[in-house]
Structure formats: structure tokens, C-alpha cells
Amino acid sequence: MKIDSSSKALAAYASQPRALKRDAGAPEAKTQAAGENVAINPLASRMQAAEKAAQSEPAFDAAKVDAIRHAIASGQYQVKPEAIADSLISSARELLGRA
């Protein structure tokens, strides 16, 4: 078998126009005429505002963490099991929808 560099197979493919493949299930994009309005869901703008507010606040209160750390180290921090139990029960009720 002789291999030549004439590339007849490549030339046959090169002359064919390339067609864009489209997803058969996807609707065709429509062009918008000048002057059309676009409405954004109000929930999206509220979510964006909440995201900006969350980014502007620190992730945690470093001063509060230091105060608790100091209280634990000095033996002054007291755990209230009743308060923890009440909070856990209320959280569980909330998650179960029985609030």
C-alpha cells in the first residue's frame, strides 16, 4: 500500500461547508426587536441584595469568640443544659413542621 501526500480524502472534506449542529429539542433563539423590555423576577433582586448584605458582614464575631475562649480558659463559662435542650427541641419541631 502506497501512502501519498496528495491527501485526496482531506480535500474532499475541506470542500464541504460546515453546518452548525443544533439540539433537536431546544427551541430556536429569537432575536429581540429594539425597544423590548425584559422583566426580572423580583425574587432574584431580593436574593442579590441578601447576597450583598451577607458579603459585607464578617463571617463571625471575632470579639465574641475571644470572650468565650477567655471565659472557658478562666473557668467562668457556664453551660446551661436546659437552654441547649430547649433550643434543640424547638429546632427539631421547626424542621418537622410542627412549630
Q: What is the pLDDT of residue 64?
A: 92
Through-space distance between the first and last CA atoms of the chain, rounded to whole angstroms: 82
Query: CB–CB of 77/68 below 8 Å?
Result: yes
pLDDT given at position 20: 47
pLDDT value at residue 96: 92
Note the pLDDT of residue 93: 93
Q: What pLDDT digit, counting tens, does each position of 20-74 carry?
A: 444 444 455 555 566 788 777 888 888 888 888 888 877 788 899 999 999 999 9
**pTM (predicted TM-score):** 0.35
